[in-house]
Amino acid sequence: MCTLLLADLSQTPSLTTMQISRKIEIDYGHTLPNHFSFCNQLHGHRGVVVATVEGPVIERSGDSEEGMVMDFRFLKEIMVEHIHNRLDHGFAVWREDHEDLEFILKRNTRVLVTDDPPTAEYLAKWAFNEIRTHLPEGISLHNVRWYETPNNWADYDGQIIK
Ligand SMILES: Nc1nc2c(c(=O)[nH]1)N=C([C@H](O)[C@H](O)COP(=O)(O)OP(=O)(O)OP(=O)(O)O)CN2
């Protein structure tokens, strides 16, 4: 009985779904103007962003991506263009933080104006939405992890509570 079941499964064409992750690092400034402590200062972080994508392992014989969910290189290119190149050596500033926004816009050319305070949570969500729309067909974004410091991070998986 057991042998029969195994034999049947071996006839089924296999399509393996897996997750892969890519990490980039990014230097950025921000401030949380309402924070009770030093996070209300203009300050910077060496952020780390990890994107995890999911999809079937490509089986096309001879394809450059054979055996891969997608080439790490292409995932890196999306993250560099849409995250790193938008914020690296720039400043994330909340649109309601009028005093800092006015100063930063005069001072910096690379400014990410945010709809909410630029916490690790907000930036994880921002990065998720940026990366998601640029992935190839058939690949979905599982999660973005945004490390504000080596010890502090936020995860976003696209869930919205209505
Ligand atoms: N939930 C969140 N809490 C805090 C955030 C945030 O984005 N989400 N951000 C901050 C500050 O911006 C600050 O940079 C973090 O400072 P701190 O907690 O002092 O982090 P450290 O790296 O110094 O902590 P270590 O434990 O020494 O690594 C505050 N809170």
pLDDT digits (tens, 9 = 90+) for 59-74: 999 999 999 999 999 9
Share of the chain above pLDDT 70, in %: 91
- How many whole angstroms from 115 Cα to the centroid of ligand 1? 20
Q: Write the CA distances from 109 to 40, 47, 113, 134, 152, integer angstroms.
A: 22, 19, 12, 24, 28
The pair of three-digit structure tokens given for residue 76, joined into one six-digit string: 């890196």
CATH class, 15-156 region: alpha beta
Task: Give the ligand 1 atom nearest the CA of 120.
Answer: 7
Protein residues whose CB sits closer than 6 Å to any atom of ligand 1:
32, 39, 119-121, 148-149, 151-152
pLDDT digit string, tens, across residues 105-152 = 999 999 999 999 999 999 999 999 999 999 999 999 999 999 999 999
Beta strands in the chain (DSSP E): 17-30, 43-56, 90-94, 111-114, 140-149, 152-156
Per-residue pLDDT at 8:
57
pLDDT digit string, tens, across residues 8-34 = 555 556 789 999 999 999 999 999 999
Q: 98: part of which helix (H) or strand (E)?
A: helix 98-107
In the numeric block, the tokens 């263009």 are attached to 81
pTM: 0.90
In the numeric block, the tokens 């890519």 are attached to 22
For 11-20, 76-85, 92-101, 153-162, which range has the lowest pLDDT when averaged over its residues?
11-20
